């Protein structure tokens, strides 16, 4: 026979002992602002991060399917409000703005400023800052660039990279406007395009766009070319770890993560 409800309610929960530790990101907590329709960046970056002690926490910024200079620049208004909702009240070591072409369209200094408005005590990075830092670290000066963008965005990419003092020896693009299509470009297509571009007189290859799933082909492409290959997501993992003070070497995804 069941007990009356009033009698059941008199039973008290027993207080159990516990201790608090630093939580899952015992070495580094990385915040990520990612586009609302980017299907690739989170699994890609997590593939490149160490198995223990480094955690990635994401919040999504509104973005339409159409990737144009205008839609990319429109994200500036939402950067701070997106960043502030990443683990509020908890410590983050680094905050990433996860859009390569968006950073170049808005301006890397502007992106950094907007993040710091919301998270003033963090290190910041973005795919083009991380990518160029990685290429510089590997000794590259004259580079090939592969993108998935339409030419209005490609022109911004070329102007930005050239304005940072880099020599673009050859460039190629899948010329897509749809953000969803960019996330569905096959890794083998990325390999074939990267291999064709990388055979020119260049020191290395930059694969631009966090939506491109380069992780399955990075090591093979770099080995076959005999030159460094740096992708947006690979560079973000490397740069954010270094900014957070993690010197882990991750194998199987190109020499940048091993360096």
Q: What is the pLDDT of residues 47-88, one digit of tens each?
A: 999 988 999 999 999 999 999 999 999 999 999 999 999 999
Residue 33's pLDDT is what? 99
| CATH 3.40.190.10, domain 129-231, yes or no | no
Confidence of residue 1 (pLDDT cuts 50, 70, 90): low
Q: Which residues contact 241 (CB under 8 A, 6 or more apart)?
A: 28, 49, 50, 54, 247, 248
Residue 72's pLDDT is what? 99
Given a cut of 90, is residue 8 above it in pLDDT?
A: no
| Tokens at 32, concatenated | 């990520």
Q: Which residues contact 237 (CB under 8 A, 6 or more apart)?
A: 45, 48, 49, 250, 257
DSSP class of residue 94?
A: E
28-126+236-250 and 129-231: same fold?
Answer: yes
Whole-angstrom distance, CA of residue 237 vs CA of residue 248: 11
Number of residues that this document lists for the chain: 259
Q: How far is CA 221 from the centre of its chain?
A: 20
Residue 21's pLDDT is what? 84
Q: Tell me the pairing of strands 28-35 and 94-98.
A: parallel
Whole-angstrom distance, CA of residue 66 vs CA of residue 70: 10
198: exposed, middle or buried (Cβ count in 10 Å: 0-12, 13-18, 19+)? buried
Adjacent-strand bridge partners of 125? 96
**Assigned CATH class of 28-126+236-250:** alpha beta
Phi, psi of 54 (to 5 degrees): -125, 125
Given a cut of 80, is residue 22 above it in pLDDT?
A: no
Q: Is the pTM above the cut of 0.75?
A: yes
Residue 160's pLDDT is what? 99
Whole-angstrom distance, CA of residue 187 vs CA of residue 192: 9
| Mean pLDDT taken over the chain | 96
Whole-angstrom distance, CA of residue 28 vs CA of residue 56: 9
Place of tokens 């083998």: 188
Confidence of residue 185 (pLDDT cuts 50, 70, 90): very high
Residue 244's pLDDT is what? 97
Range of lowest pLDDT (17-21, 38-42, 203-207): 17-21
| Tokens at 172, concatenated | 């190629």
Q: How far apart are the two ends of the chain, measured CA to CA in Å?
A: 69
What is the domain partition of the chain in residue ranges?
28-126+236-250, 129-231
């Amino acid at each position: 026979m069941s007990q009356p409800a009033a009698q059941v309610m008199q039973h008290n929960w027993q207080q159990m002992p516990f201790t608090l530790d630093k939580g899952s990101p015992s070495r580094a907590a990385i915040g990520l602002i990612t586009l609302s329709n980017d299907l690739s960046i989170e699994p890609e970056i997590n593939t490149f991060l160490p198995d223990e002690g480094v955690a990635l926490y994401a919040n999504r910024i509104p973005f339409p399917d159409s990737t144009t200079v205008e839609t990319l620049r429109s994200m500036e208004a939402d950067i701070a409000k997106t960043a502030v909702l990443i683990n509020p009240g908890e410590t983050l070591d680094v905050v990433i703005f996860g859009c390569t072409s968006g950073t170049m369209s808005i301006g890397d200094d502007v992106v950094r400023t907007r993040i710091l408005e919301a998270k003033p005590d963090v290190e910041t990075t973005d795919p083009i800052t991380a990518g160029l830092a990685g290429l510089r670290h590997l000794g590259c000066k004259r580079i090939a660039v592969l993108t998935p963008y339409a030419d209005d965005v490609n022109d911004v990419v070329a102007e930005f990279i050239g304005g940072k003092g880099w020599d673009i020896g050859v460039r190629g693009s899948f010329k897509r406007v749809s953000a969803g299509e960019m996330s569905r470009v096959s890794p083998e297509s990325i390999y074939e395009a990267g291999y064709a571009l990388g055979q020119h007189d260049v020191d290395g290859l930059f694969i631009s766009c966090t939506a491109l799933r380069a992780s399955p082909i990075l090591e093979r492409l770099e080995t076959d070319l005999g030159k460094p290959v740096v992708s947006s997501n690979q560079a973000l993992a490397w740069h954010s770890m270094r900014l957070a003070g993690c010197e882990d070497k991750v194998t199987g995804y190109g020499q940048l993560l091993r360096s």
